[in-house]
């Protein structure tokens, strides 16, 4: 649910907070809505200290959403591998939560060179590993809480923190019944035999076509992350869910950091999670799509 446009008092307070944060007087000279997102209201702020991008939402409806997003952006930035917007300020006032980021022009051509650079830089980000799968706090996937309880086992993490919570939510919504739950149980039994062993790698977590920019100054820029440490195939599977990226992206990625053999056969496994999220958020055709994907997996891997 998007937040209504705030009144002038909010922007006056934002000027004060930006001035304090940047250490110099900041005066907002223009506020322009930025359209495209389904969850947040977004604006480009033109100020005497340069341009900023601000996202607004209901502080009570999605507690901590922007603080967690800022954590994710900073986690990506800390790798020095691929660009993510600099976090300027995050906070709450009355019922409004806000996140202020640097404004990034994103009108660079998405040509073969861009896609090649994107693949190489994502591979470089994925080389950053951790001692466990998960993250040190839960965050959001869309408007749903994403559970990141650390685990030493990737199959256990994916089952307990990704699939089971979404399946339970779908059952509670009446989307699925015992027969569908039984299919998932069969998949859970197969999981340890399906996935290759791999270290926990830093993932964007929601890498579809709407969550990156093509910047003239920075090349590919990652936005709106749902970060955690997991299996690299998760990010690649998400890129392929809604049509896929250009071939140059995948070619460059595999040249830089090859995936294990058979990775394309496992793509539906990692698409189950975002499909379940979409089924729980939007219903409609996503509900049967989950079951079709699940049946395809079971047929492929002998369930």
Yes or no: say if 230 and 270 are a contact pair by the CB < 8 Å rule: no
User: How many Å apart are CA 214 and CA 108, to the nearest integer?
Assistant: 5
Is residue 224 among the annotated active site residues?
no
User: Where do the domains of the chain lie?
Assistant: 8-102, 112-301
136-164, pLDDT tens digit by residue?
Answer: 999 999 999 999 999 999 999 999 999 99
User: How many Å apart are CA 136 and CA 117, to the nearest integer?
Assistant: 30
* Per-residue pLDDT band at 211 (split at 50, 70, 90): very high
Q: Domain 8-102, what fold? A: Phosphorylase Kinase; domain 1 (3.30.200)
Yes or no: say if 289 and 241 are a contact pair by the CB < 8 Å rule: no
Task: Using the predicted structure, report yes or no on whether residue 5 has a pLDDT greater than 70.
Answer: no
Task: Using the predicted structure, report yes or no on whether residue 213 has a pLDDT greater than 90.
Answer: yes
- Domain 112-301 CATH superfamily: Aminoglycoside phosphotransferase (APH), C-terminal lobe (3.90.1200.10)
226-284, pLDDT tens digit by residue?
Answer: 999 999 999 999 999 998 999 999 999 999 999 999 999 999 999 999 999 999 999 99
Express as a percent the part of the chain with pLDDT over 70: 98
pTM over 0.85: yes
Burial letters 183-217, b for 16+ CB under 10 A, else e: bbeebbebbeebbeebebbbbbbbbbeebbbbbee
Number of C-beta neighbours around residue 82 at 10 A:
23
156, 206, 235, 247: the catalytic one is 206
């Amino acid at each position: 649910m998007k937040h209504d446009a705030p009144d002038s008092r909010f922007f006056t307070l934002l000027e004060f907070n930006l001035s304090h944060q940047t250490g110099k007087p900041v005066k907002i000279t223009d506020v322009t809505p930025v359209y495209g997102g389904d969850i947040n209201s977004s604006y480009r702020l033109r100020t005497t200290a340069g341009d900023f991008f601000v996202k607004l939402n209901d502080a009570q409806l999605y507690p901590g959403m922007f603080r967690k997003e800022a954590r994710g952006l900073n986690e990506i930035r800390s790798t020095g591998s691929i660009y993510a917007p600099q976090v300027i300020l995050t906070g709450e006032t009355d019922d409004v939560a806000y996140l202020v980021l640097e404004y990034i022009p994103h009108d660079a051509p998405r040509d073969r060179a861009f896609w090649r650079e994107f693949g190489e830089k994502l591979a470089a980000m994925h080389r950053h590993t951790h001692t466990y799968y998960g993250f040190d706090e839960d965050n959001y996937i869309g408007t749903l809480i994403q559970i990141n309880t650390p685990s030493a086992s990737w199959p256990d993490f994916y089952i307990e923190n990704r699939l089971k919570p979404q399946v339970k939510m779908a059952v509670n919504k009446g989307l699925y019944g015992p027969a569908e739950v039984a299919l998932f149980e069969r998949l859970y039994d197969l999981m340890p035999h399906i996935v290759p062993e791999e270290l926990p790698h830093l993932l964007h977590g929601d890498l579809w076509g709407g969550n990156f920019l093509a910047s003239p100054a920075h090349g590919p820029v990652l936005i709106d992350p749902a970060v955690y440490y997991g299996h690299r195939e998760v990010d690649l599977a998400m890129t392929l869910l809604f049509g896929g990226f250009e071939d140059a992206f995948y070619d460059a990625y595999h040249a830089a950091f090859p995936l294990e053999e058979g990775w394309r056969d496992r793509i539906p496994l990692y698409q189950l999670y975002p499909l379940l999220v979409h089924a729980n958020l939007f219903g409609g055709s996503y509900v049967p799509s989950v079951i079709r994907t699940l049946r395809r997996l079971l047929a492929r891997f002998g369930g």
